[in-house]
Structure 1
Amino acid sequence: MTERRPVASLWIGEKLHYLNQLCLKSHVIQGHPTTLYCTHDVQNAPEGVEIRPASEIMEIDMALVEDTSASFLSNVFRYKMIRKTGAIWIDCDAFCHRPFPDEMEWVFGGHGLSGNLNCGVVGLPQNCELMDQLLDYYDNLPDYPAWWNKNQRKKYDRLPDTMSHAARIYKAERTAFGPQAFTWFAKQTGDFERALPVDVLYPVPFQLNDIFYDPYGRVEGHFTENTLSVHLYTNGTKPWWEKHEPLPGSYVYRMCEQVGIEPKKALR
């Protein structure tokens, strides 16, 4: 197998769910050197995934994670990781359908039905204006994100000031550190036009995420010859699937068989 571009992600916690195992291993199988930066001693990563301490990239404030979510600081981590290593960021619920082309320097795409960008899979030049503006935003948080309207600001103002500034922004708008920020700054730098079409990285709209578990769903009907990654949207999946094996015939079941993951060994 030809060695391809390195990819990397972050895991905050002690154990991977089978869906995360599936997605990480899919990149290994496609020839991508795959690194998982971890805050804890993760023992159930798939063979071929290199485990590294998250502190190599940045210190993870676990108190802030408690006030927000396990994925919150990944929004900062991904850009600092790209700047330091040059790897492509992959969310732990992004399945590698085809390998990322070596010549594809800018890797990000449109998402869902809204026309905004997502940052679940991101490749950027290590030094570019978009990276600079994103990191400056996280390092020097404004009173309110520049794109917020009056109602969003009021929502922030109603939150208790005993919470940290970052946590209040997150509670007011959960995606203010993720897709909202990425979309805004890509527009400011003129890089929005570099976005790949939705079929490349997010072929199935977020609103239809249950289709991955439906034995009769035609998931592949959303794919095209350009599809590289398939986002499985664990943050929108019904909690039932975290504790139960996928049904035979469903996309997730078939991919687990194809990649060699046993769901029953890594349920919540």
Structure 2
Amino acid sequence: MQLNRRPVASLWIGDKLQYLNQLCLKSHLRHGHPTTLYCTDEVTNAPEGVNIRPASEIMDIDMSVVENTSASFLSNVFRYKMIQKTGAIWIDCDAFCHKPFPDEWEHIYAGHGMRGALNCGVVGIPQTGELMDRLLDYYDNLPDYPAWWNKNQRKKMDRLDPSIPLPVRIYKTERTAFGPQAFTYFAQQTGDIKHAMTNDVLYPVPFQLNDIFYDPYGRVEGWFTENTVSVHLYTNGTKPWWRKNVPLENSYADRMCKEVGIDPSLALE
């Protein structure tokens, strides 16, 4: 396996990957992308070839904040600091590599779902520039309220206990305020929204239909186009049953595990 393409990287908070995470990480190796997984704990079941590094190389992870939000919360700032420091493409651990990322792509992001907002599950942006500066300034100097919030959103946050740390209050008010909401807003402010790819490139299947990956009769590939490079599997929205049981034979999850060489039974929740 020649790892001669652009590097990709992700973050894992915890000590054990689930089989879909193993599948997605290994899928990038298969297409020649050096793959780094920054970890807060000692992860022992990453696929062979994945470069395991301490998350502290990029930033300190405040686990008390994670415990009051979610494991994905701090990944929203981690991804931009990682890109700024290393130049790697950010990949969520549930982004399956369908085809390699072309070397010439400087801006890698797209809309997802059926509402048009940008997702930040797969991100490539310049290491320096206004978009990077705006994103990092937002996280490093949190405003009282995100600038794009309306009156009702502000009132909702005002009802929370003011002693709760500000980032936690923002998260509890709007779960995506640090993810797609922020990325979409600042890309609009800087004009980088014009570089956004169409959904089919990175998120061909709308997240509202994520069960299709486990349906042996589902036509997942019917959503793909010749432009599809990554397929987001949306594990945060996966029903618990699919995380605790091997995928049904001939489902997309089953077929990709067999194709890439992952045994789901060894990494169930």
Give the Cα–Cα distance (whole angstroms) in 1 for the partners of residues 203 and 90 of structure 2.
15
* 2:139 aligned with 1:144: no
Aligned to 2:159: 158
Aligned Cα RMSD in Å?
A: 0.6
Aligned to 1:92: 93
Residues 174-230 of structure 1, C-alpha deviation per residue, up to 9 Å, x if partnerless?
000000000000000000010000000000001000000000000000000000000
User: 2:42 corresponds to which letter in structure 1?
Assistant: D
Aligned to 2:222: 221
Aligned to 2:69: 68
Residues 136-172 of structure 1, C-alpha deviation per residue, up to 9 Å, x if partnerless?
0000000000000111111111111221100000000
Aligned to 2:240: 239
User: 2:73 corresponds to which letter in structure 1?
Assistant: F
* 2:3 aligned with 1:5: no
Give the Cα–Cα distance (whole angstroms) in 1 for the partners of residues 11 and 27 of structure 2.
16
Aligned to 2:191: 190
Give the Cα–Cα distance (whole angstroms) in 2 for the partners of residues 96 and 37 of structure 1.
19
Give the Cα–Cα distance (whole angstroms) in 2 for the partners of residues 45 and 13 of structure 1.
12
2:205–2:232 Cα contact (<8 Å) kept: yes
Equivalent residue of 1:177, what SS?
A: coil
Cα distance, 1:92–1:2 mapped onto 2, change above 3 Å? closer
Give the Cα–Cα distance (whole angstroms) in 1 for the partners of residues 202 and 10 of structure 2.
16
Equivalent residue of 2:176, what SS?
A: helix
Equivalent residue of 2:11, what SS?
A: strand
Aligned to 1:205: 206
* 2:18 aligned with 1:17: yes
- Structure 1 runs (4+) greater than 2 angstroms displaced: none
Equivalent residue of 1:108, what SS?
A: strand
User: 1:204 corresponds to which letter in structure 2?
Assistant: V
User: What is the count of residue pairs matched by the alignment?
Assistant: 268
Cα distance, 1:2–1:66 mapped onto 2, change above 3 Å? closer
* 2:41 aligned with 1:54: no
Residues 23-72 of structure 1, C-alpha deviation per residue, up to 9 Å, x if partnerless?
00000000000000000000000011000000000000000000100110
2:3–2:29 Cα contact (<8 Å) kept: no
Give the Cα–Cα distance (whole angstroms) in 1 for the partners of residues 3 and 210 of structure 2.
32
Aligned to 2:174: 173
Give the Cα–Cα distance (whole angstroms) in 1 for the partners of residues 38 and 61 of structure 2.
11
Give the Cα–Cα distance (whole angstroms) in 1 for the partners of residues 92 and 241 of structure 2.
21
* C-alpha displacement of 1:3: 0.7
User: 1:174 corresponds to which letter in structure 2?
Assistant: R
* C-alpha displacement of 1:2: 5.7
Give the Cα–Cα distance (whole angstroms) in 1 for the partners of residues 147 and 127 of structure 2.
25
Equivalent residue of 1:175, what SS?
A: coil
Aligned to 1:102: 103
Q: What TM-score does the superposition give when structure 1 sets the normalisation length?
A: 0.99
Give the Cα–Cα distance (whole angstroms) in 2 for the partners of residues 132 and 224 of structure 1.
33
Aligned to 2:120: 119
2:3–2:34 Cα contact (<8 Å) kept: no
Equivalent residue of 1:35, what SS?
A: strand
User: 2:110 corresponds to which letter in structure 1?
Assistant: G
